[in-house]
A and B are shown apart, each in its own frame.
Chain A
Amino acid sequence: MTKKQLEMKHPYERFLRKERMPHIWCEGCGNGIILNCFARALDELDIDLNNVVVVSGIGCIGRISGYVNADSFHTTHGRPIAFATGAKLAKPELKVVVISGDGDLFAIGGNHFIHAARRNVDIKVICANNFVYGMTGGQYGPTTPLEAWTTTTPYGNIEQAFNLVHLAAASGAVYVARWTALHVRRLTESIKKALQKEGFSFVEVISQCPEIYGRHNKMKTAISMMKWFKEASEVRNFSDPAKADISPSRIIVGEFVDVEKPSYGRLLREMKAKLQTE
């Protein structure tokens, strides 16, 4: 390596807490790509890191709050949305982003999610959907597809999975998108859109967990999971999220909802101002 190369710094280094690198995520884990796309979105929008708050819950992806070089909080399991709601209402000028797992947001934290979306709290939720509880050993959860093998469904899963984009849209989110970890550019664009929108924005990222999901489902490496995303993804922007299914042969991705609605915080402040002048 030449001296010049040794001096070269990664363009997104300033978004990371260097002393915590390398991150704990496995080789080829999609969580690293989500962190990368998030950093790129902040860079391209030229957002001051002092105005960003990243909140995460428990799980592999939950570690992300310790890696971004912004104010952040690693909450208890399932509670990042509750914490983020408080942060946003207390300081409306902040951009509050929740980045968490499918288990954290839709199993133990499911109620927080649907009600924050219904109230249109102005927070951005990025969900790393790896179809299982990664950190605790790959148990099946509410997003595990029917018939998938996991450590706790050794004969195949017999439960139906949540369709997260449909759930978010039906609950009232103003922006809903789904991409896979391979769609790095469109994912970054969606994160940028979400960051600029007022209201509850939801971006689902289908993320590969080769160690704990792929290995049990005939995809031994991260590359084979990425190839599955490449072959199975079908972009259907603004199609009916109810029909955006995920199966071994097809993953419907795209932007599904992009509407305008006043946020909870705005209505709250307007109400307060009105009552104070009366």
Chain B
Amino acid sequence: MPVRIWRKPLDAEKIKVKKAEVHILKNQCKGCGFCIEFCPKQVLETSDELNIKGSHPPKIVDETKCALCGFCTAVCPDFAIFTIEKDCKEGC
């Protein structure tokens, strides 16, 4: 059996995992579903909500799961979603 030698990184306290803010510009969305389908962390899901154009924008299931990979921002044909790092100066 392999020896398990993992340990907690020494700088674990110092390293802060970035927190994400997911922004959906609902009325710009045409409802293609790419952001939902290709999110590696399943942050989004389909919703029943209708926007002014009559399509269903995505809804956030769990923002804390977002790893800020930015794929949703890049793959959105309608410039309707983007993620930014949360400003945690005052704690979050």
A5-34 interface bits toward B, Cβ cutoff 8 Å, 1 = contact, 0 = none: 100101111001000011101111111110
Interface residues of B in 42-92 (CB under 8 A from A): 53, 55, 71, 73-80, 82, 84
Q: Which residues of B contact A40 (CB under 8 A)?
A: 74
Q: Which residues of B contact A21 (CB under 8 A)?
A: 28, 79
A222 is an interface residue with CB less than 8 A from chain B? yes
Bound-complex Cα distance A29 to B31 (A): 11
Q: How far is the CB of B59 from chain A (nearest CB, A)?
A: 12
**B71 & A223 in contact (Cβ 8 Å cutoff):** no
Interface size on B, residues (CB 8 A): 24
Chain A residue with the shortest CB-CB distance to B81: A10
Contact partner of A11 (CB less than 8 A), chosen from B53, B55, B73, is B73
Q: Which residues of B contact A37 (CB under 8 A)?
A: 74
Quick one: given A10-B25, A10-B82, A226-B38, are A36 and B30 in contact (CB under 8 Å)? Answer: no
Q: How far is the CB of B19 from chain A (nearest CB, A)?
A: 15
Q: Which residues of A contact B34 (CB under 8 A)?
A: 28, 222-223, 226
**B78 & A22 in contact (Cβ 8 Å cutoff):** yes
Bound-complex Cα distance A184 to B84 (A): 18
Q: Which residues of B contact A12 (CB under 8 A)?
A: 79
**B32 & A185 in contact (Cβ 8 Å cutoff):** no
**A184 & B28 in contact (Cβ 8 Å cutoff):** no
**A188 & B77 in contact (Cβ 8 Å cutoff):** no
Quick one: given A27-B32, A223-B33, are A36 and B77 in contact (CB under 8 Å)? Answer: yes
Bound-complex Cα distance A209 to B82 (A): 24
B23 is an interface residue with CB less than 8 A from chain A? yes
Q: Which residues of A contact B80 (CB under 8 A)?
A: 10
Chain A, interface residues (CB within 8 Å), range: 20 to 34
**B79 & A222 in contact (Cβ 8 Å cutoff):** no
A182 is an interface residue with CB less than 8 A from chain B? yes
Q: Which residues of B contact A8 (CB under 8 A)?
A: 23, 25
A1 is an interface residue with CB less than 8 A from chain B? yes
Contact partner of A223 (CB less than 8 A), chosen from B30, B32, B76, B78, is B32
Q: How far is the CB of A3 from chain B (nearest CB, A)?
A: 13
**A27 & B79 in contact (Cβ 8 Å cutoff):** no
Contact partner of A36 (CB less than 8 A), chosen from B32, B38, B74, is B74
Quick one: given A28-B34, A222-B32, are A184 and B75 in contact (CB under 8 Å)? Answer: yes
Bound-complex Cα distance A227 to B64 (A): 27
Chain A residue with the shortest CB-CB distance to B32: A28
Q: Which residues of B contact A188 (CB under 8 A)?
A: 74
Contact partner of A33 (CB less than 8 A), chosen from B26, B30, B77, B84, is B77
Bound-complex Cα distance A32 to B76 (A): 7
Q: How far is the CB of A10 from chain B (nearest CB, A)?
A: 5
Q: Which of A32, A40, A185, A221 has the most chain B CB atoms inside 10 A of its CB?
A: A32
Contact partner of A182 (CB less than 8 A), chosen from B23, B28, B75, B76, is B75
13 pairs, A vs B, C-beta closer than 8 Å = A21-B79, A22-B30, A22-B53, A25-B77, A27-B30, A28-B32, A31-B77, A33-B77, A35-B77, A40-B74, A221-B33, A222-B32, A223-B37
User: Which 10 A-B pairs rank lowest in CB-CB distance, beginning with the nearest?
Assistant: A32-B77, A28-B32, A184-B74, A27-B30, A10-B79, A27-B32, A8-B23, A222-B32, A33-B77, A223-B37
Given contacts A28-B34, A30-B77, A182-B38, 13 further A-B contacts (CB under 8 A): A10-B79, A10-B80, A11-B73, A21-B28, A21-B79, A22-B78, A27-B32, A33-B75, A33-B76, A33-B77, A40-B74, A222-B32, A222-B34
